Amino acid sequence: MSIEEGMDAPAFELPASGGRSVSLAAMKGQPFVLYFYPKADTSGCTKEACDFQEALPALQGLGLAVIGVSPDPMKPIEKFAEKYGLAFPLASDAEKTVAQAYGTWVEKSMYGRTYMGMERSTFLIGRDGRVAKVWRKVKVPGHAKAVMEAAKALG
């Protein structure tokens, strides 16, 4: 399934770093950034997480929360969050159900081999629970800034 701008955000509930739990229901009435990343503590994912952490005060100033989602189990996610001092929740979608609902668990290929993996994607969810903006196949440099600009436009 492909999620597009204007659609209702698919419901989710996942365990997250710091003993937290994240869900669409808990975010009701609050805009937020939901980003999907392939693997904790890898170079691109670390850069992306640190960029969101750096942008967090400005995003929170706009009333936005940030939630990161990967298919990793909780243990590596907790280590990743601690190692880089990530204040926002990182959620474990080990069953890939949320990734499938958002269309981010996709067929990929490398060196002629195809496999299933997480597509680096970001969704800006409005306070009405609808998808306000979608970024697919995200390139990390400058991405957090682009999300912030879109969030400002959201109002």
Q: Taking the alpha carbons of 150, 54, 79, 138 in that order, is the dihedral positive or negative? A: positive
The residue count for the chain: 155
The pLDDT assigned to 152 comes to: 87
Nearest-CA neighbor of 23 among 31, 140, 15, 149? 15
For residues 31 and 130, what is the distance between their CA atoms, to the nearest angstrom?
9
- When pLDDT is cut at 50, 70 and 90, the band that residue 2 belongs to is confident
Q: State residue 48's pLDDT score.
A: 93
In this prediction, residues 82-106 reach a mean pLDDT of: 96
Q: Are 120 and 37 in contact (CB under 8 A)?
A: yes
* Residues involved in catalysis: 45
The burial class, CB within 10 Å (0-12 / 13-18 / 19+), for 37 is buried
pLDDT at 12 over 90: yes
Q: What is the pLDDT of residue 129?
A: 94
Summarised one tens digit per residue, pLDDT across range 106-146 is 888 889 899 888 999 999 999 999 999 999 999 988 889 99
pLDDT in tens, 32-81: 999 999 999 888 899 999 999 999 999 999 999 999 999 999 999 999 99
Going by pLDDT thresholds of 50, 70 and 90, the confidence category of residue 28 is very high
3-class secondary-structure state, position 101: helix
Kindly report whether the global pTM for this prediction surpasses the value 0.75.
Answer: yes
d(CA 112, CA 52): 33
Output the pLDDT for position 105.
Answer: 92
Gap between the Cα atoms of 135 and 112, Å rounded: 26
Q: What is the pLDDT of residue 1?
A: 62
